[in-house]
A and B are shown apart, each in its own frame.
Chain A
Amino acid sequence: MTAGEVTQPKPQGFRIQDLPGKIWSNYVLRRIVRALVIIWLITTIIFFVIRLMPGNAFDLMVADMVVNRNMTEDEAKIRASSLLRINFNRPIGEQYLEYMSNLAKGDLGYSFINNNRTVQELLAQKLPWTLFSVGTSLMISFTLGMLLGMIAAYKRGSWLDHLITNFAAAMDAIPQYIYAIVLVLLLGVIWKIMPVMDMKGVLSPGIKPGFTFEFIWDALMHLRVPAFVYVLSTVGNWALSMKSSTLSTLGEDYVTVARARGLSDSRIITSYVGRNASLPLVTALALSVGFALGGSVVIESVFNYPGIGLELSKSLSNRDYPMLQGIFLITTTSVIFTNLIADLIYGWLDPRIRIAGGE
């Protein structure tokens, strides 16, 4: 009876037809395969959107060049092909292979408006700023929101809970650009706390990028207001999710038992309530990266912050399709990778979803 409940794994030889099943049953492998499949799906969809759909990007681009740049249709087609790095005279299957192999090499074509600059080069220049601003703000917002949510849950029903919950719900529903506008108005125009110029851009004139204190400090100073906007617009959601997650964790038996075991409050809050309550938020954090990247379109436009978001709206108004394709690919891929990382972290944090016997 002692160890009768132990299930013994059945010994098995390796068979090739078991491979998919084996990959599927391994949590980590399954997640990686899934991420790759999703990326492949998205790139394929983008290809067809560019090439095949009626009113597709290629045709729009050609039409645009014919009308606005006085090219003949053939010239425009050649130019569009060279920018998108796809030879549009070949059969569709070959075009697809060419497109995929270009992507695999990291070749995203040439920007339409920035002559002779490759899309990947431009992205490499813009992406760090967006990652810096979005990443910093997201971390601040996530930590702050978790803290507020836990306080609200612990002080449930008190005036503090009502204050946090109502504020969080209200803040969650207000669009980002409203925060941006209101902050600029209050800080720059009405209270005159900081010059409006300091809120715009990423660096003051004359500051050179590099690992200098001056550079980092200046970058952070310019990030203050945009980051504040990100935080204000997302912290409410974190606080609300953490509150409801904490409340349901607090109702779990193991928390009561932990108290009965005489564990200190700090140990219970961190390892018993906090760790379990934050599990669902890890997945949400990865999803919110996508949301934050989306928000960067608005915030970077308001603050003239030269990241991916601003580039997206510029490319849109210039009909720079290679650039749009690149931006869309890069944001999607980074979101999928963040999700993959979050899944892996989740698997590490929560032993229940690791496959039993997998260690």
Chain B
Amino acid sequence: MMLAQQETNLPPTISIKNLSIDYKAKRGQVQAVRNISFEVDRGEAMALIGESGSGKTTIGLGVVGLLPPTAKIRQGEIIYRRAADGKIVDEIDVLKLNPQQIRQFRWKECAMVFQGALNAFNPVLRISDQFADTASAHNALRGMALKERATEILHMVRLDADRVWRSYPHELSGGMRQRVLIALSLLLEPQLIIMDEPTTALDVLTQRNIMDVLKDLRKNLNFSLIFISHDLSLAAELADKVSTVYAGKIVELGDVYTVFRNPYHPYTIGLIHAVPTLAGRKEDLTSIPGSPPDLINMPTGCKFHPRCPLADDQCKTQEPDLEEIGKGHRVACWKWQTARETLKRFKAS
């Protein structure tokens, strides 16, 4: 924590500016990411929240240069800054790296833990071999030093290091594999970790377990985190800041506390209401009607207007930009001032 305090004066670990990513499909261009900008500070966790197909994962893949060949980055820049001894020692424009450089960048600077990573390990290699592969790809640790480091991080994720080290992936349960992957992401001490739905596809108890591990890691280690999830409650637990992503665009961004207490965008409001609590009665759960937009034939104006009860002619023709409405709290909605009140009245009637 001390370290984090000192480093808060430094510029952010990652700054994404005006990033737009398209996919080529038979029917036309899929606009997966549209003009997105955000920053993640040292030791900070940013949650990207949205329905599936909103473009969250594409952002993550873009940062580590793993977009499929059909994807094209139309514009924008991704600046990553490495800090050491309290100052910035390196500033990297990720999109300008050549293949060899981006390969070195991955995992060493920015590790990505994938969605549904039950199948994240090569089934024919032992966990030890896969750690060694990762280390040797970056000319990092080997031999005993590697084993020691691995034992240390496997302990951090609450695994029996000796047993896991010798195992093949199929000998581990889903939750264990996910924790091994999280441990592996820490191996080279990257300053940025992207976690794409790290708990999806696991049962509730295992999810809980992993969330506890992640909270521990956040407390004890100093890395910046981009946490991608469709589950607001997980984001609330883990993140410092939250961005709501809709149709490839950030529609609301702010610190976790503010956004949860005072959401302004009708979509965020809907998402928060869609979170079932164990205590809450089922009738309270108002999910958002309609389905996410077709990213090839997007609606005009605000992309949320077909599903928004507040939409008027302006919403149908003009797309709102993010607008600063409080300290670090930004919203892209024409109706933000009245949204919450109006929605409450709708719900009552």
Contacts and interface: CB of A to CB of B under 8 A. Distances in A.
Q: Within the complex, are A and B direct neighbours (CB within 8 Å)?
A: yes
A352 B134 contact: no
B140 to A, nearest CB: 10
B108 A262 contact: yes
A352 B116 CA distance: 20
Contacts of B108: 262
Contacts of A356: 171
Interface stretch (A203-211, A251-259, A309-317, A334-342): A251-259
A3 interface: yes
Given A3-B160, A6-B163, A350-B123, A260 B111 contact: yes
Given A253-B116, A260-B106, A262-B103, A267 B137 contact: yes
Contacts of B125: 271
A349 B124 contact: yes
A279 B163 CA distance: 26
Q: Is the interface of A mostly helix, strand, loop or mixed?
A: helix
A264 to B, nearest CB: 6
A6 B107 contact: no
Contact of A259 (B66, B159, B172, B175): B66
B52 interface: no
B160 A259 contact: no
B176 interface: yes
Given A1-B158, A253-B114, A256-B66, A261 B137 contact: yes
A262 B209 contact: no
A74 interface: no
Given A276-B124, A349-B124, A253 B119 contact: yes
Contact of A254 (B103, B120, B137, B168): B120
Interface size class of chain B, counting residues whose CB lies under 8 Å from the partner chain: 35 or more
A213 to B, nearest CB: 40
Contacts of B105: 262
B173 interface: yes
Interface in A236-275: 252-254, 256-264, 267, 271-272, 275
A255 to B, nearest CB: 8
Nearest to B119: A253
B133 interface: yes
Interface string A186-224: 000000000000000000000000000000000000000
Contacts of A3: 160, 163
Contact of A276 (B107, B117, B123, B176): B123
B123 A351 contact: yes
Nearest to A7: B171
Contacts of A253: 114, 116-120
Give the one of A260, A271, A275, A356 with max B CB within 10 A: A260
Contacts of B215: none
B336 interface: no
B133 A271 contact: yes
Contacts of A279: 124
Given A3-B163, A349-B124, A262 B138 contact: yes
Interface in B73-95: none
Interface in A54-77: none
A279 B124 CA distance: 10
Given A254-B121, A350-B123, A351-B123, A260 B66 contact: yes
A2 interface: yes
B337 interface: no
Nearest to B160: A3
A8 B73 CA distance: 51
Contacts of B116: 253
A351 B103 contact: no
B232 to A, nearest CB: 25
Contact of B106 (A6, A261, A350): A261
A5 interface: yes
Contacts of B158: 1-2
Nearest to B138: A262
Contact of A352 (B64, B111, B112, B168): B168
Nearest to B212: A1
A279 B184 CA distance: 26
A351 B123 CA distance: 8
Give the one of B108, B120, B138 with max A CB within 10 A: B120
Nearest to A6: B163
Contacts of A275: 122, 124
Interface string A1-28: 1110110000000000000000000000
Interface of A: 1-3, 5-6, 252-254, 256-264, 267, 271-272, 275-276, 279, 349-352, 356
